[in-house]
Structure 1
Amino acid sequence: MARLIAMFGLLFALTAPAIAADSASLNRQQQFGDVIIHYNAFASGLLQPNVAKDNGLIRSKGQAVINIAVIKGDKTVTADVDGSVADLTGRKKELSFRPVSENGSVNYIAQFAVEPDSSATYVFTINVKAGDGDTHTLSFNQQIFSDQ
């Protein structure tokens, strides 16, 4: 869990310029009752090679990653996560999330194509069905710098 939290913190620090440039919550989270959903999208080139390999992710200027963590109480909980990403022209792609578990903690990641060597804003719509039985939808824009 400590490694996962450290990885999430590192990714947050590395993507601070993108965070400041978008309209998403500066905390990169939304709360729905007692469920808090943390989210972050970033260029996959920001990942350390061993982290990418261990999680089956491709490091490339043409790929990005979105990470979702669902928190209830003080721990992550399992959920059904799906959603889509669109560029500002409206081209939409479905995201295929998969769980990544470590030390009893679970995050949900999906990889998606981005324009290489550019900076573009993407529009995300994410649906999370957590243990409370409700489906929570979050929508946010995020700029991704894919020249990393």
Structure 2
Amino acid sequence: MNMKWLLISLLLLGLVSPSVEAEQSKRLGPWEVHYNAFNSTLLRPEMAQQYNLERNAYVATLNIAVLAANEAGKPAQQVSVSGYTMNPLSMQSRLEFQEVIEGDAVYYLSQAEFTANEVLRFFITIEDENGNSQELRFSQEFWVN
């Protein structure tokens, strides 16, 4: 793990309580995309307020950071992030992302509603300033807590 990602990870861990699952990552073209999704009730109240995020048993929080895959020590990339979720009934909900910049760390936050014990499929498009884009897809089950 390079030093820049370590910084991002530490900043993100400060957003949530200690019981949050570890982040996941995927190599997408020129990027290493780190992401995690968790129940928003795990957000510390002061961090939720700072980033204008809702804390609700039926709301998931999504966090994405994009790093250059081939450049060790390269800071997080500023990109355009958009996407949607799909529930088991194939109903789509658009995700609205906010960019957060803290020093060299750049990450993108969004929230999505879910029902009790529901699997959401995430479809996230990441695009750079040159129009190069990649799609991140993953599924996650959410529980009300």
TM-score band, normalised by the shorter chain?
0.7 to 0.9
The percentage of counterpart residues that share the same residue type is: 24
The number of residues matched between the two structures is 136
Residue 3 and residue 37 in structure 1: after superposition, are their counterparts in 2 closer, same or farther (change >3 A)?
closer
Q: Equivalences for 1:38-117 in 2 at 5 Å?
A: 38-72=34-68, 73=71, 74-115=74-115
2:119 to 113, 117, 121: 121
2:138 to 137, 140, 144: 140
C-alpha distance in 2 between matches for 1:13 and 1:81 = 27
Aligned letter for 2:76?
T
TM-score, structure 2 length as denominator? 0.81
Q: Which consecutive residues of structure 1, in runs of 5 or more, have no partner in the other structure?
A: 20-26
Residue 105 and residue 127 in structure 1: after superposition, are their counterparts in 2 closer, same or farther (change >3 A)?
same
Give 1 or 2: higher helix fraction: 1
Runs of 4+ in 1 over 2 A off after TM superposition: 1-5, 7-16, 130-133
Q: Which consecutive residues of structure 2, in runs of 5 or more, have no partner in the other structure?
A: none
Q: Is contact 1:42-1:145 (8 Å) kept?
A: no
C-alpha distance in 2 between matches for 1:9 and 1:48 = 10
C-alpha distance in 1 between matches for 2:143 and 2:17 = 14
What is the RMSD computed on CA atoms of the aligned residues?
A: 2.4
Aligned letter for 1:14?
S
